[in-house]
Every structure is written in C-alpha cells, then in structure tokens.
Structure 1
Amino acid sequence: MIQLKTVLTLVATAALTACTTLGPNYQAPAANAPAAYRAATTAGAELQRDWWLMFNDAQLNALEAQALHASPTLAVAAARIERSRAVFGATQADRLPRVDVGANAGGLRTSAKATTTPVLNGRAVTFEGESFGLSASVGWELDLWGRVKRQTEAAQAQLDATTADAAAARVALTADVAAAYWQWRALADEATALQRVRDSRAQAFQVAQTRFDAGSSTTQDLERVRAELAAADADVADMPRRQALAMNQLAALTGQPAAALKLQASPLSAPPAIRAGLPSELLQRRPDLAQSLAQLHAATAQVGIAEAAFYPSIKLTGSFGYSSEDLGSLISAPARLYNVGPSISLPIFEGGRNKANLASAKASVDESLASFRGRMLLALREVDDALAELQGRAAVVEAQNRTLASSGQALTVAKSRYDQGAVSYLDVTEAERTPLATQRALAQLRGAQWAATAQLVKALGGGWSGANGG
C-alpha cells in the first residue's frame, strides 16, 4: 500500500507540474475606428440606459414599459441567458473530482449445466447465496493541457455573448417602439395638414361651380378644381390606413392588440440633439459589438480545446467499499475492498479527426474576426447615416419654414385684395396652395427627423454601457 501511495503521489506531482494551457490566449482586435464621425457634433444630451425618459413623454414611457414587460423577443433572450449560464456551470463542474456512491443486494446461484461450471471429482460445483455491497468511487481527470480550462473559458465567453445579445435586443426593441410611436404622431400631424388642403380645395370647388353656373368660367377651369378636390379626397381617405398600420406595428412591438391602445396625438416639434461621442466609444456603447467580441473569444478558446486532443490524458480513479454474503458483517475489515490507480490515454490513430477539428476551430476564429470587423464597419455607417439624416432634414426644415413664411405673407396679401374686391376667391385658394403643401411637407419632415433620432439611438447602442453591462 505504501508503494502504491508513493506511485500515485509521484504521478500526480509530475502531472500537476507539467500542466500547461494549449492554444492562443484571446486578445481583443483593434477597432480601427476613425477619429470622428463625418457629420458629428459635440452638442447634445448623453444617452442613458432608459434613454426614452429624456423626452418627458408619458405615453412613450408607458409604451416602452409595456414592451419591456411583454416582448416575446426579450423572453427568448432571457431564456438563452439561463441556458448559457447552465452550460457554464456544467463546464466548471468538470474541473472538480467526481464522487459516486452505490449499494447493491441480491441473490446468486450458478448453473450446474453451464459449460463454464467448474467440476470437482466428476461433480459440478455450484454456488448459492446472498451478496451485499457498499462502495464509493472517485474520478478526476488532470487538466494537463488546459482542455477543461479552455472549455470553461469558452462557456464564459458564450455566456457573455448571450448576455450582450439580450442587451442588443432590448436596444432594438425600445428604439423600434419609439420610432413607431413617433411615426404615428407624425401621421396625425400630416392628417391635420391634409384636411386643411381638402377643405381649401372644397371651398375652391364651390366657388368654381358658382362661377361656372353663372357662365363666368369654363368647363376646363371647373374640372381642374374638381380634380384637385378628388386628389385631396384620396389623400385624406388613405390616411386612416396608414395610421392603422403604424398603430398595428406599435401594438405588436408592445405585445398587445391594437384595439387596446388608447393614444392621444399631439404635434411634433423638433427632436432634441443627442451627442454621438467618438467612433472609438462604440465598442463600449453597442452590445452587438460586445457580442461579436465574445463570440471571437469563445472561438479562440475552442482552438486550445482542439489542440489538447492531440495529447495524452491522465485520470486518477479509485474506489473503496465492502462486499459480503452476510449483511451483518458487511461493514468489517474482512469485507473491505478497494481499487486505486491512474489511467493514461494517448491518441494514436484518429483518422484525421483531430486535425480536422483543429482546422475547423482556427477557421471559426477567422470567421468571427471577419464578422466583428464587418459589424464594426456597419456600426460606423449606421451612426454616420443617422447623423446625415438629422443634419440634412434639419436643413430642409429650415428652408421649408422660409417657404412657409413667404407663402403665408403672399396669402395675407391675396386675402386683403379679395376683401377689397380686387381679385376673386380662386386667387385666394391659389395662394393657399403653397403654404398648405408646405405644412404637409413639414409634418413629413418632422416624422423623418424623429425616425432618424430613433435610428441614431439604436446606432449608438441605446445607452448600453459595456463597463457595467448597461
């Protein structure tokens, strides 16, 4: 027994001394981000995790809360996190020894007719009796090459990726809810502008009809005004469909039927400015980039696991217990038994399986690295696109406001001349054409500005922070 203990001690000491971790250690790749965005400004509010609160809109706050509570997408992401956490726990268990206990009891009688029955003095020797046993076994694989360590590392990285994926789903959901809500409000503003256009065309048609009946205008003039009224009627009639689609999208995002939504529309003003920050900050601001890096980390750890398959594995196993035909004498020195010793396994021929697995693991690293770089470029483009949209729309709004001011003055002059009898009412309705069309264009532009605001929020990661998990 002393010699066996000595052997086991030497084996364990040599094995632990020789422990190493195969495979490359993970290093985050360079982001290669530009120094600044093309259209960035330093002014604006900084996004927080619950970024929608900055707009002080009670309806939006309620919709976001409902979406976060009822979204199936977030429920799926939460379940994935729990699954990844369970996988990580299972890999941690592989680093510890495994202990099993067992007990058995049964009757035994050997056959006198079997070919393996022993014969003594020409007679078959049979055995009959009861058997009882109690045992405990211990097994532990020495992590000589870091295979188990890399498995734990890969599982932890995968858990990080799953957590970041859930955060990305939250960012996307809250931004989409806000975008749908702002679209619905923009449509309400546009509907108001369209109704004004329709009312103006209806008045113009009444005047044209009166003049035609009096013989002071032609059929061509009447039909032109009639066509304009019909076009306005078509736009007004189509608006409920567009509003219903926006409402249906909002209901789906918040996990409730559209009939349950009771919203009050109010005019949209200019959206507040949001600080974009620096491109290099995107790695800490966007959870999808953090997810991509975590997947790269997991793929890198898999290379070490694949390399460890080329090397021998050593397991220390042992068992101790009692076996007796008499239950009363089971726990006694004569009934004691044990078995202890190391086992070594060395791969000799695997048919190229280990080489193929290693090549696959290295290719996965290359794939994950390329995927991260692609996501980084996409993230930079999305921020630049949103900033370009906001700046471009703001310039158009400014020009349309000038148009509205000038056309409003022209309309005031036309009404004054009409009151003096210098022009007909058709001249007034003609002067109304530009300001009314500009009001509709401004409603659409406001909607585009708020849509670009939601796009920018999503592109910047919605207030998520890699430093604290958002």
Structure 2
Amino acid sequence: MRPTLNFFLPTLLAASLALSGCVSLAPAHERPAAPVAADWHAPATGSAEVRPAADLGWREFVTDERLRSVIELALAQNRDLRVALLNVQRAQAQYGVQQADQWPGVSASGGQTAQRLPGSLSGTGQRAISRQYTATLGVSAFELDLFGRVKNLTEAALQQYLATEDGRRSTQISLVAQVAGSWLTLAADQERLQLTEQTVKAREDGLRLTQRLQAGGISSTLDLRQAEIAVEQARADLASLTQQVATDRNALELLVGAPLQAGHWPVTGSADAATLTAALPAGLPSEVLLQRPDVQQAERTLQGAEAQIGAARAAFFPRISLTAGAGSASPALDGLFRNGSGTWSFMPQISLPIFDAGRNRAQLKTAQVDRDIAVAQYEKAIQSAFREVADALAERTTLGQQQQAQQRLVAQTTDALKLSEARFRAGVDDRLATLDAQRSLYAAQQALVQVQLAQQLNRVTLYKALGGGALADTGADTAPRQSAG
C-alpha cells in the first residue's frame, strides 16, 4: 500500500504537469504603432530639469495644504474610486480561480459500504451482511494542457486583472484632477464674490453721493437713476455668485464623498498659487502617452484578446483528461491500512472534435474580431490622449499672454475710474462717465480672475493628460507584472 501511494500518484502528477502547457497557439503580441503625429503641434515649453508629469506625485504637484487634505480625503472616501478598487479585487479573485485550473486538484475520500443479503441470495442459505471500508487519494478529470488552452485562458484572466488595476490608477488620476479643478473653481468664485461685494459697497457709496448731489440740485435725476441701476446690477451679480459658490461647495463635497471641515475650504487668494508654477515638460508623444494608465489598460485588453485566440485555436485539437486514484480497501476497519490492502485506478480520456456544426470556427472568428476591436480601441485611446495633451499645450501658450493683457487692462481701468471720479467731483463730467468706468473695472477684474483660474485648470488638465503620477502614485498596486505562462 505505502509504495503505491508514495510512488504512483506523485509520479502521475509530475508527468501530467510536465506535459501540460507545452504549446501556445496565441499570436505573439506586437504593440500597434501609435496612429498620431510625431509632435504635439504646439510649442512644448518647460525646463529640462523639471521632472516628467508621470514621475511627479500629486502631493508634489499640489502645493496648497488645504487642497492636499481635500484630495487625501477624496482618495479615501470617493465612491467611484472605491468601486474601481473593488473591481480590482474581483478581477484578482477571478484570475485566482482561472489559475487554479492549471494545477491538478487532489482530493481525499473515505467511506464505508454495507450490504445485507437474504439467505436466498447469499449462496449459503443464511442471511449475510458484508462491509467494505475504503480510503482514496486521487486526481479527478485533470486536463493535460498540451495545446495551451488552459494556459491562454489563465493569461486572458491575468491581463483582465492588470487592465482593471490600470483602470483603477486612471480613475485615481482623474479624481485628483477633478477635485483640484473643483476646488480651484470654488476658490475663484469666492474671489469673484468678494470683488462683487466690494463693487456693491462702492456703488452704494456712489449712489448716496449722487443722492446728496441731486438733492442739492447739482446732479440730475438721470444721474440718480443711472446710479441706482448700477447698484441693482451689482446686487443681482452678488446673488448669482452667492448661489454659484454654494453650488461649487456641494459639487466638491460630492466628489470628496464626505462633508468638508472649515480647514478644507479655500481661502481668498489661494487659487492663484495652489499648484506648481513651473511648466510641465511635455516630451515626445511615444514616451508620454504609453505611461498613461488608460493607454496601458487598452493594451492589456488587447493582450487578453490575443490569449483568447490561443484558447479558441486549441479547441480544434484533442483534449486529454486524467482521472486517477490510489488508496486502500478492506472488509474490516482495522485492516484498512495493512499491507496488501492497496488499490489504484487510472482512467485517461481523450476527446477529439469531429463535427460541431461550425461552433469552434465561429468561436475562433469571434476571438479574432475581439482582437481587432481591441486594436482599434487601443489606437483610439492613443489618439484621444494625444489630443488632450495637444489641446492643453495649445491653450498654455496663450493663457500667459491673456493674463498679462488682462492685468494691464485692470491697471488702466483703475486709473480711468480715478480720473473719471475726479472729473465728476470737479463738475467736468456727468455721473454716466464714472459709472461706465466702474463697470469697465468690475468686468476687467472678473475677467482677470477667470483667466487666472483658466491657467490653474490648464496646469491640472496637462498634469492629468501627461499621465500625472502614473509612475509615482501607484497606490496599492499588487498586480503580478509577468505572464501567467
């Protein structure tokens, strides 16, 4: 018995594993050529000493401590990111299930069989009770993977797992960008609200002055009505911006997934210095785009589709499975493991497809079309990524010029307002010229805040488009980076 268990079953398992996975019928993976131009069609500014965006973690990119704390809270509480992480865990479990098929399942069993025969059937004329005890260690229906079917299915499951992990990293980068953008927008709207409050106060002061002048017969009723209109317009803007700030706060809390405390909200003037002021180097498309998690996810999907082709091709070949067992049998329980009680069984089975009404060919065609779809999706991911970077770079080249022009406009309208107020007090001009100067300054100040916000959002967009933090903020990435084979 002992020689049978110690030699027969281990020898069978070793031979089975040696024969498994000898051949893979999957096509060799070749990364498709990037269907994009060789440059971004925009000047790539930035010092060579600045680290690439993919190597720059979001904690290094974001300089405002309040914004950092909000992003950290969002990474812990955001529900979309939580679902992405759970999808990774689910794909990991599915990969483990598929990987287990590459190994034989060994099980142990024991049992008793009791049978009572009447005297008419016992052969002795006396009723008889017979008992049999068995203990078996065996392998059930283990497939010899001679043509790589199981191996390729495992490889497909692995690539799906890795693609899901890449999707999680892409979701994390997008979340960081969304939270930063929402926070910066709130900061800008708060600054615009403060400007509007100052404008309302200034126009109310102007209205009171006009009322005194009109009462003294120096100013006309038309001047009074113009001053009243200016105040009401500013008050309407104040109400609208108050609502907008409240809406911004709600949107930010939804992204974060939890209520924010007083220390999380932006303070006035923080929007213009919330991110790095150094320009991000764009580099070459082929170097940058392949670091983006969404592009890597598309390539993983393509590799999984290629593995499915190998599994579909293997279905045309014979399939061999083994069922074997070794153990002991005895009519008495105390003799179950004595010498001479050993048993074994060996049942190989081969299945050869002869006629399946074209099922295997249809499955292979499906796998090949899925591969072609994955190629197109990969190329689309490259093209979309290229456009995002190119658009952000094109916008970056003009935003600096816009800000400089807008700053000059604010300075000029400020001087114009001072001159207009002096001329009104001297009686040279009527109130209308002063009101026009106030409106021009107010519009210029609001536009300057918007341009500054656009610059900050452009930095965030460019950071995300360049795969920001893809190599630095990998998070809980435990995915095996090798082939299942």
Pair in the same fold by TM > 0.5: yes
Instruction: Specify which of 81, 88, 92 is matched with residue 95 of structure 2.
Output: 88
Aligned residue number for residue 319 of structure 1:
325
Deviations 1:359-412 (A, max 9, x none): 211111111111111111111111122223333333222221222222233233
1:179 and 1:451 in contact (8 A); partners too: yes
Q: Taking structure 2 as the reference length, what is the TM-score of the superposition?
A: 0.85
Q: Are the counterparts in 2 of residues 207 and 425 from structure 1 also a CA contact under 8 Å?
A: no
Q: For the residues of structure 1 that align with 2:413 and 2:247, how far apart are their CA atoms?
A: 33
1:29 aligned onto 2:36:
no
After superposition, where does 1:237-386 map in structure 2 within 5 Å?
237-258=239-260, 262-267=264-269, 268-269=271-272, 272=277, 273-386=279-392
Question: What's the CA shift for 1:338?
Answer: 1.4
SS at match of 2:290: helix
* Amino acid in the other structure paired with 2:362: A
1:277 match: secondary structure: coil
CA shift, 1:227, in A, is 2.1
Tell me the residue number matched to 1:171: 173
SS of the equivalent of 2:365 reads helix
Cα displacement (A) at 1:218: 4.7
Q: Which residue in the other structure is 2:132 paired with? A: 131
2:312 and 2:360 in contact (8 A); partners too: yes
Percent of aligned pairs with the same amino acid:
33
Instruction: Give the letter for the 1:78 counterpart.
Output: L
- The alpha carbon displacement at 1:290 in A equals 0.4
Q: Any residues of structure 2 matched to 1:146-161 within 5 Å, and which?
A: 146-161=148-163
| 1:105 paired residue number | 112
Q: Give 1:434 deviation, angstroms.
A: 1.9
Are 2:25 and 2:311, in contact at CA under 8 Å, matched by a contact in 1? yes
Distance (whole Å) between structure 2 residues aligned to residue 195 and residue 55 of structure 1: 29
Aligned-partner Cα distance in 2 for 1:174–1:111: 81
Which AA in structure 1 matches 2:248? Answer: A
- Which amino acid counterpart does residue 337 of structure 2 have in structure 1? I
For residues 215 and 416 of structure 1, the distance between their equivalents in structure 2, rounded to whole angstroms, comes to 19
SS in 2 for 1:201: helix
Distance 1:442-1:467 versus aligned 2 partners, 3 A rule:
closer
Distance of 1:103 and 1:368 partners within structure 2: 50
SS at match of 2:454: helix
Q: Distance in 2 between matches of 1:258 and 1:243?
A: 14
State which drifts further: 393-402 or 96-105: 393-402
Instruction: Using structure 1 for the length normalisation, give the TM-score.
Output: 0.87
Structure 2 letter corresponding to 1:39: A
Segments of structure 2 that go 5 or more residues without pairing to the other structure are: 1-7, 478-485
Task: Please report the RMSD computed on the Cα atoms of aligned residues, expressed in angstroms.
Answer: 3.0
What is the Cα deviation at residue 168 of structure 1?
Answer: 0.4
User: Residues 81 and 436 of structure 1: is their aligned pair in 2 closer, same or farther, counting only changes over 3 Å?
Assistant: same
Q: Secondary structure at the match of 2:40?
A: coil
Distance 1:16 1:53, change over 3 A: closer
For residues 411 and 216 of structure 1, the distance between their equivalents in structure 2, rounded to whole angstroms, comes to: 21
User: Contact (CA 8 Å) 1:33, 1:280: kept in 2 or not?
Assistant: no
Instruction: Say if 2:80 is the partner of 1:73.
Output: yes
Instruction: Return 5+ residue gaps in structure 1 as ranges.
Output: none
Q: CA deviation at 1:135?
A: 0.8
Question: Relative contact order (alpha carbons < 8 A, sep ≥ 6): 1 or 2 greater?
Answer: 2
2:3 corresponds to: none
| 3-state SS, counterpart of residue 338 of structure 1 | strand
* Counterpart pick for 1:222 among 221, 224, 228: 224
- C-alpha contact 2:160 2:301 (8 A) present in aligned 1: yes
Q: Cα distance, 1:126 vs. partner?
A: 6.7
- Confirm or deny: 8 A CA contact 1:24 1:300 kept in the other structure: yes
Asked whether the equivalents of residues 53 and 61 of structure 1 are also in contact (C-alpha less than 8 Å), the reply is no
1:87/1:285 CA distance change after superposition, 3 Å: same
Structure 2 CA distance for partners of 1:466 and 1:91, relative to 1, 3 Å = farther
Q: 1:412 matched to which residue of 2?
A: 418
Counterparts in 2 of 1:386 and 1:50: CA distance versus 1, 3 Å = same
The alignment partner of 2:272 has SS state of: coil
Give the secondary structure class of the aligned counterpart of 1:28. Answer: coil
CA contact (8 A) 1:132 1:330 kept: yes
How many corresponding residue pairs? 455
Preserved contact between residue 248 and residue 258 of structure 1 (Cα < 8 Å): no
